[in-house]
Amino acid sequence: MSDPSTIAEPTAVAPAAPGVPRRRRRGSGGRGLVITGAVMLVVMLLVVALGPLIAPYPAAQTSPESLAGPSAAHWLGTDSIGRDVLSRMIIGGRSTLLITVVAVALALLAGLVLGLLAGYLGGVVDQVIMRVLDVLFAFPAFLLAIAVVAALGPTIPNLILTIAVVYTPRLARVVRGPVLSVKRWDHVEAARSVGVGEFTLVRRHVLPMVISPILVETSLTLSRTIFTVTALSFLGLGPPPPDPNWGGELSSSRQFMELAPMNVIAPAAAIVFATLTFIVLANGLREMLDVTGRR
C-alpha cells in the first residue's frame, strides 16, 4: 500500500540554505483534523463494540431473500444466502479492528523497547538491533505477512503476531531517532553528571521527545495494518469463518457483484472509512505536534 506517511511530509528538495529559515507553522489546521479523526474513531469503535447489540440481525442468519438491494428491512441489502449485509459489516468490524489494535499495540511496545535500547545504549547494541531491523525492512511488509500467515495458518493470534512483527521495525526506528538526539543534549549530560538516575532521565527528557513522532507513526501504522489485515482476509488468509470480516466479504461479493453491487460497496466503504480515520488522525497529529518527517 502506498505509504501515507510520505504524503504530508515530503522529502526536501534542497536542505534550507544557510540563513533561510524553514517555514513550519504549528498547529492551525491540525486541530481540526485531529478532532475529525477522533470523532470518526469513536464512532467506529462504538459501532463495533456494541456490535451484536445494534446489528439488526445475527450475522449468520440466512433468509430466502438473497442478493436483495437496499430496503427498509435490510438497509444495505443481503448477500448470496440472504444474510443482512449491514449486520455483517458491523460484526465484521470486530475481528478486523481487534487484530489491528492488538497487533499495533504489541508492535508499539516492542518498538518502544527496541528503539529505546538501541538509541540509549548506542554502540554495538544499536548497530546489531538496527541491522536486524534493516533485514526485516527489506521485505515488503505484505509479502512477509502473506508468507508467514499462509504457512502458519490464519488464526487470530497468528495474524496478530505476524503483523506485530512486521510493523515493529518502523516504530523502533521512529523511537530511536529522538532518543539519539536527546541523549546528546547538554542539559541531559549535565543532569547525568550530577548523578540523576538513568531511569529518571529517560522518563523526564527522552519520553516527551519521543511521544509526538510515536503518536503520528502509530496512527499511520494503524492505517497500514487495516490494509494488511483486510488484504490478507481478501486473499482468504484472514480470520476463519464463521465470523465475517471486511476483506473476506469484499472478496466473496465479487461472485455476484453485478447483481448486488451493494455487497461490494459496503465492505469497500467500511475499509476506506477505517483507513481514512487513522490517516486523518495521523495528518492532524503531525500538523498539530509539528513533527518533522523522516528524511
Partner 1 sequence: MAQVDVPDVPEMAGAPAPLLQVRGLTAEFTSRGQQVPAVNGIDFEVRAGESVGFVGESGSGKSVTARCVMRLEPEGSSISVGGSVRFDGRELLTLSEPAMRDVRGKRIAMVFQDPMTSLNPVLTVGAQVDDMLRRHTSLSRAAARRRTVELLDLVGIHEPGRRADDYPHQFSGGMRQRVLIAIAVSCEPDLLIADEPTTALDVTVQAQILRLLVRLREELGMALMLITHDFGVIAGMVDRVYVMYHGDIVESGPVQDILTSPRDAYTRSLIDAVPRLTATGRGR
Partner 2 sequence: MRRVVLVRLAWAVPILVGVSLVAFLLVRALPGDFAQQLAGTAPGATPEVLQEMRHNLGLDQPIWVQYWDWLTHALRGDLGTSFTTQRPVTSELFGRLGVTAELTFIAAIMAMLLGVTTGLLSARLRGRVDWAVRGLNGFLVAVPNFVVATLIVLLVGLYLPQLSIFSYTPLTTDPLANIGSLLLPALSLALAISATISENTRAAVLEVSSQDFVMVARAKGLRPRTVLGQYLVRNALTPVITVTGLEYAALLGGSIVIESIFNIPGMGQLLFDSVTSRDYPVIQGIVLLVALIVVLVNVAVDVAYARVDARVSYE
Residues found near partner 1 in the complex (CB under 8 A): 14, 17-20
Q: Looking at beta carbons only, is 20 or 124 nearer to partner 1?
A: 20
- Choose among partner 2, partner 1, none what residue 19 binds, the Cβ cut-off being 5 to 8 Å by kind: partner 1
Stretch near partner 2 under the rule CB under 8 A, chosen from 35-43, 110-118, 192-200, 265-273: 265-273
Comparing C-alpha atoms, which of 139, 136, 143 is closest to residue 165?
136
Q: Which long-range contacts (CB under 8 A, 24 or more apart) does 162-165 make?
A: 163/99, 163/100, 163/103, 163/104, 163/107, 163/225, 163/228, 163/229, 164/102, 164/103, 164/104, 164/106, 164/107, 164/110, 165/107, 165/136
Partner in contact with 157, chosen from partner 1, partner 2, none, beta carbon below 5 to 8 Å by kind: none
Can you tell me the distance from the alpha carbon of 43 to that of 59, in angstroms, rounded to the nearest whole number? 20
How many residues contact partner 2, by CB under 8 A?
55
Among 114-122, 149-157, 185-193, 198-206, which window interacts with partner 2 (CB under 8 A)? 149-157
Instruction: Report which DSSP code applies to 170.
Output: H
Q: In this structure, are residues 172 and 129 in contact, taking their beta carbons and an 8 Å threshold? A: yes
d(CA 107, CA 165): 7
Whose Cβ is closer to partner 2: residue 181's or residue 255's? Answer: 255
Contacts from 125-128 at CB under 8 Å and sequence distance 24+? 126/176
Q: How far apart are CA 83 and CA 103, in angstroms?
A: 30
Taking CB within 5 to 8 Å according to partner kind, which of partner 2, partner 1, none is near residue 55? none
**Are the C-beta atoms of residues 29 and 287 closer than 8 Å to each other?**
yes
Name the residue nearer to partner 2 (CB basis): 9 or 243: 9
Q: Report the site for partner 2 in 92-131 (rule: CB under 8 A).
A: 131
233, three cell numbers: 482476509
Site for partner 2 contains 207 (CB under 8 A): no
- Cα distance between residue 85 and residue 103, in whole Å: 27
With CB under 5 to 8 Å by kind, the binding choice for 49 among partner 1, partner 2, none is none
Asked if residues 205 and 145 have their Cβ atoms less than 8 Å apart, the reply is no
Among 67, 163, 201, 231, binds partner 2 (CB under 8 A): 231
Q: How far is the CB of 282 from partner 2 (least distance, A)?
A: 10
- Binding of partner 2 at residue 289 (CB under 8 A)? no
**DSSP conformational letter for 239:** S
Contact status: 132 vs partner 2 (CB under 8 A):
yes
Is 148 one of the binding residues for partner 2 (CB under 8 A)? yes
User: Closer to partner 1 at the Cβ: 14 or 138?
Assistant: 14
- Which partner in partner 2, partner 1, none is near 72 (CB below 5 to 8 A by kind)? none
Work out what residue 272 binds among partner 2, partner 1, none; the CB cut-off runs from 5 to 8 Å by kind: partner 2
Distance (Å, whole) CA 105 – CA 149: 19
Which residues of the shown chain bind partner 2 in the complex (CB under 8 A)? 1-4, 6-8, 10-15, 17, 131-132, 134-136, 138-143, 146-148, 150-153, 223, 227, 230-231, 234-235, 250, 253-254, 257-258, 261, 264-265, 268, 271-272, 275-276, 279-280, 283, 295
